[in-house]
Structure 1
Amino acid sequence: MSLVHPALLFMCLPIFLIVFAAAGRLWGSRGALTVLTAASLLFGATQGIAFLVVIVASALVNYALLMVIVRSDRPASVRLALYTGIAANIGLLALAKYSVWLGWIPVIGTASLSLAALIPTTLSFLTFQRSVALLDGFSARGAVATDLQKPRAGEALSPANPPLRFFAFASMFPNLLIGPIAYLVEVVPQFARSSFGRIRPIDLSIGLTLLAIGLVKKFYFADIIGRDWVDPVFADVAAHGATGGLRAIEAMVAYYVQLYFDFSGYSDMALGVARMMGITLPINFDSPSRATGIVDFYRRWHITLTRVIARFLFSPLSIAGTRYAARKRWRGARAQAVSLWLPLIVNFIVIGLWHGPRLTYVLFGTIHGLWYILETEVRGTKWWKKRRKTIAEPIRMLGGMALTIPLLILTFALFRSATLADFGHLLGSLGNPAQPGVDLPSTWKFAQLGLAYAIVMFGPNAYEMLGRYRPGIRSYINVSITPRLFAFRWRPTLFWGLLVCAAIAAVIGKMSAVTPFAYQVF
């Protein structure tokens, strides 16, 4: 079961909110957290008993290690607990997700294949969320210890607070499967608020609006674009090694926007469901199709993964490389290579590998890493700094977008391809002649794709629309370039309420055949 399943949306979710509010009123935040944890475990059970066993066992191990980190007075024990927890989390993820590459290793390969067969649902997001919780405990021990224990206003101090708060955070069903990846220090302090455990009308309004936006993205854009434009072409290339040139271009252009609507739609829904119970999660997308470069893109696309990988990999590697270069008294390119370039390449290869054991993902990450390095170096030159002052901001931004978007479309076509050979066949098809009757979709389908691109290029995103009400936690402040004509601002009014209800009603008719999220395979 996923967030788009009708039974969850229209039966389980309302019942959960009623029980959550009743428990909060009767037993305070601990009652609400107990209901949230129980509901999250039931949600996990719908993915399979093996998945439930793994996430519970993982949560118990991570909680025990977190308690060592925040309570131990011995630095050696703290570091051992941190390294053990991260190694166990990453090891579990590797066994479950990379069996294709590990299957030849005696014992480990057998365990990996068995685990992969038992757990079809990805562990990627919850693994990273729990790992970063340990890192939060290590880097902010006092604050985390306080956040886990601090009672809500009017409640007595209780030893049940730390485990309840951690398990609710680690297994919270809105973002359990496909994120966004939240930090412990972002979410757990919210459990101590005086309003937590109460259903407030403003939270319901914001949550339902985000939920409606996500549903529309999923059913009216991502699913339709994938069905009509993307999947048939990539299947054709995989089966026959070629397709028509126009169809290849259409599929490449369409996939980029399909993936955006699919993944950002889930992220909107996750934030919406969490907000209904008064919890604010981090924003995962911020109009990435308007990025003016690869650096800008990764401040807007899958933001929570980008910041986690940077925290775990880039920052430590960059610091170590800088210190090494200083000891060797290196300057210039050699110093840059170990302090910036190599950490960036490793960072982006891991971002690619995080999606799965495919060479296309490795090449995708490598290309983006090299692109990031090139752009960073160009931005640091005197030539660029001088040119930036002489070119008007709108022209510079439009030029950046004109260069960035085609390259992103091309690299995401690589990302979508199952093998490097498929991607080569797709590129080779660009020179093929059109296939009469096949390469020309209907005017209505062209209009759908055109509308999709118009929305991502000119329309406000959900967080701009609801900006006055803090719909999510921002990791970066990106300047909005939404044209003033389309800069709609949401209000908790009758008009917006009717519009949200109409959107949800329109989606209900599309729910007869629920398709999984394209990003759920990661």
Structure 2
Amino acid sequence: MSLVYPIFLFAFLPIFLALFALGGRIGGPRGALLVLVASSLLFTASQGLGFLIATTISLAINYALLMAIIRARIGGRWGRAMLAVGIVFNLALLVLAKYSVWLQWMPGIGPLSLGLSVAIPTTLSFLTFQRSVALLDAFTACKATALGLQSPPKGERPSRADPPLRYLGFASMFPNLMIGPIAYLTEILPQIARRSFGKLRAIDISIGLTLLIVGMFKKFFLADALGEDWVDPVYLDVARTGATTSARAAGALAAYYVQLYFDFSGYSDMAIGVARMIGVRLPMNFDSPLRATGIIDFYRRWHMTLTRVISRFLFSPLSIAGTRYAARWRLKGIAAKLPSLWLPLIINFTVIGLWHGPRLTFVVFGLIHGTWYVIETEFRSARWWKKKRKTIPEWRRKLAGAIIAIPLLVLTFALFRSPTLAVFVDILQSLGSTATVPQGAVLPFDKMSVIRLVLSFAIAGLAPNVYEMLGRYRPAIRSFVNPSTTPRWFAFKWRPNIIWAGLLFALAMLAMHEMATVTPFVYQVY
């Protein structure tokens, strides 16, 4: 089961909301939280027995380590060791289950990894990171975490059930269990520990439904159709014959650029919307990233929760260690920047690429983005540019940045989509091809497909994202604060009124019209 399955949308979700409200009325916050935990475990079980067993074992071990870290940190003992054990355990489970292709040659580990990958067909990536970050939260903010886990709602007696129940609510919450957004323990615990938790509010339902419908529209009406009409047939032809026409190759590259965004941001909108229905605000994951004016701006807007987690776990420690190394040996210039900035950035983005799965194309994707990030960082910090930029109007700088960034992003997105480097090279070579359409190939250039592609670029390039529209109602937690890129005449603001209800109803009808076949989210496959 997934958030896009009809059984989830029209059965699981309504029943859950009714039971959640009933649990809150009968048992208060604890009753509502118990319903959330039970529903999340049921949702987990729908992914398969292997996934349920693995995530349950992970839950038990992570909770035991979390409480050990809190006790050790408060008492001043062994906290760092427990943190290391927890992170190593989580990453080892993820690597064994996800990277069996690269581990099969290793005696003992290879068969174990292959067995886990067969038993756990669904990715563990997002929940692994979320539970690892929870351990780090417990280590760095142990007092606040302990209070969030153990303090009773106002006016109620303490209960031994509160810590495990609240942790289960955080670590297994079904909206963001599979594909994020990755939340921090310190972001969610205060929300599920408050006295009002368990009471459904009309405004939360309205905001949540808005996010859910917008996500459905992105996924069903835009992303899935773009993949079916423009992207998948071309990649299939190239994988089979090694070539396609230049027009079809260009169409596939352009379509995948918006397809990946609408697919992944559609899931994030739906996850944040479902959580908001029960009064929980998850962190925002996308902020109009396809309008980025450079790679730095892009990663402040794209998959923001992963960006901040990788930076916290990997880049910051590496950069600090590199800076100390450079200071110790009194390195200057390039010799100092290499260990303190350049190598940490390259490693950071290589890991981001590898995180998606055991493909060489993902590794190259990460290396390209890491190198690009280093180049742009150096360009922005150059003295001559700091002087020059003051003489250039801001709109010209942004336009020039977008003209450079967007084609590079389109090409690297195509690399991300390619199963092998050979397929990616064939796609690029096809851009200059004079070949005719392969026999039996489906042409994507029907009127509706073209309209949908143009509409997708118009929405991505001009329309406000749903978090801008809902801004005054704080629909999600902002990971980064970015300036708005929406033209003033398109800066629509959502209101809980009949006009917006009618518009959302129309979007819901368009989405449901496309629900005949349900395709998995792109990131759910990796």
TM-score computed with the length of structure 2 as normaliser: 0.97
Greater mean deviation of Cα atoms: 76-85 or 216-225? 76-85
Cα deviation code 1:449-497 (max 9, x no counterpart): 1110010000000100000000000011100020111111001112212
Residues 440 and 493 (structure 1), Cα distance of their counterparts in 2 relative to 1, 3 Å cut: closer
1:23 aligns with 2:23: yes
> Following the alignment from structure 1 to structure 2, what is the Cα–Cα distance between the partners of residues 170 and 519?
19
Show the counterpart of 1:477: 481
> Following the alignment from structure 1 to structure 2, what is the Cα–Cα distance between the partners of residues 160 and 501?
41
Give, as a single letter, the amino acid of the residue that structure 1 aligns with 2:276. Answer: R
Greater mean deviation of Cα atoms: 422-431 or 56-65? 422-431
Show the counterpart of 2:408: 407
Q: Secondary structure at the match of 1:331?
A: coil
> Following the alignment from structure 1 to structure 2, what is the Cα–Cα distance between the partners of residues 208 and 169?
22
Give, as a single letter, the amino acid of the residue that structure 1 aligns with 2:124. Answer: L
Contact 1:246–1:439 (Cα < 8 Å) also in 2: no
Greater mean deviation of Cα atoms: 425-434 or 1-10? 425-434
Q: Superposition pairs for residues 196-235 of structure 1, below 5 Å?
A: 196-235=197-236
Shift of 1:324: 0.7
Among 457, 460, 476, the alignment partner of 2:461 is: 457
Give, as a single letter, the amino acid of the residue that structure 2 aligns with 1:509. Answer: H
Contact 1:360–1:417 (Cα < 8 Å) also in 2: yes
Q: Superposition pairs for residues 36-185 of structure 1, below 5 Å?
A: 36-72=36-72, 73=74, 75-185=76-186
Q: Superposition pairs for residues 433-512 of structure 1, below 5 Å?
A: 433=434, 435=436, 441-512=445-516
Aligned residues: 522
Contact 1:294–1:404 (Cα < 8 Å) also in 2: yes
Shift of 1:75: 4.4
Residues 152 and 484 (structure 1), Cα distance of their counterparts in 2 relative to 1, 3 Å cut: same
> Following the alignment from structure 2 to structure 1, what is the Cα–Cα distance between the partners of residues 115 and 360?
23
Cα deviation code 1:108-156 (max 9, x no counterpart): 0000000000111000000000000000001111111111112222222
Shift of 1:33: 0.8
Give, as a single letter, the amino acid of the residue that structure 2 aligns with 1:405. Answer: I
> Following the alignment from structure 1 to structure 2, what is the Cα–Cα distance between the partners of residues 340 and 133?
27
Q: Secondary structure at the match of 1:431?
A: coil
Gaps of 5+ in 1: none
Shift of 1:2: 0.2
Show the counterpart of 1:517: 521
> Following the alignment from structure 1 to structure 2, what is the Cα–Cα distance between the partners of residues 255 and 483?
24
> Following the alignment from structure 1 to structure 2, what is the Cα–Cα distance between the partners of residues 21 and 258?
36
Contact 2:137–2:185 (Cα < 8 Å) also in 1: yes
Contact 1:136–1:183 (Cα < 8 Å) also in 2: yes
Contact 2:292–2:298 (Cα < 8 Å) also in 1: yes
TM-score computed with the length of structure 1 as normaliser: 0.98
Contact 1:96–1:116 (Cα < 8 Å) also in 2: yes
> Following the alignment from structure 1 to structure 2, what is the Cα–Cα distance between the partners of residues 68 and 385?
49
> Following the alignment from structure 2 to structure 1, what is the Cα–Cα distance between the partners of residues 356 and 378?
27
> Following the alignment from structure 2 to structure 1, what is the Cα–Cα distance between the partners of residues 223 and 425?
25
**What do you get for the CA RMSD once the two structures are aligned?**
1.2
1:186 aligns with 2:187: yes
Show the counterpart of 1:306: 307
Contact 1:259–1:519 (Cα < 8 Å) also in 2: no
Q: Superposition pairs for residues 2-17 of structure 1, below 5 Å?
A: 2-17=2-17
Contact 2:233–2:442 (Cα < 8 Å) also in 1: no
Shift of 1:3: 0.3
Q: Which runs of 4+ in 1 moved over 4 A?
A: 73-76, 436-440
Give, as a single letter, the amino acid of the residue that structure 2 aligns with 1:258. Answer: Q
Cα deviation code 1:275-315 (max 9, x no counterpart): 00110000000000111100000000000111100000000
> Following the alignment from structure 2 to structure 1, what is the Cα–Cα distance between the partners of residues 243 and 235?
9
Q: Secondary structure at the match of 1:453?
A: helix
Contact 1:179–1:267 (Cα < 8 Å) also in 2: yes
Shift of 1:438: 6.3
> Following the alignment from structure 1 to structure 2, what is the Cα–Cα distance between the partners of residues 165 and 252?
44
Give, as a single letter, the amino acid of the residue that structure 2 aligns with 1:66. Answer: L
Shift of 1:93: 0.2
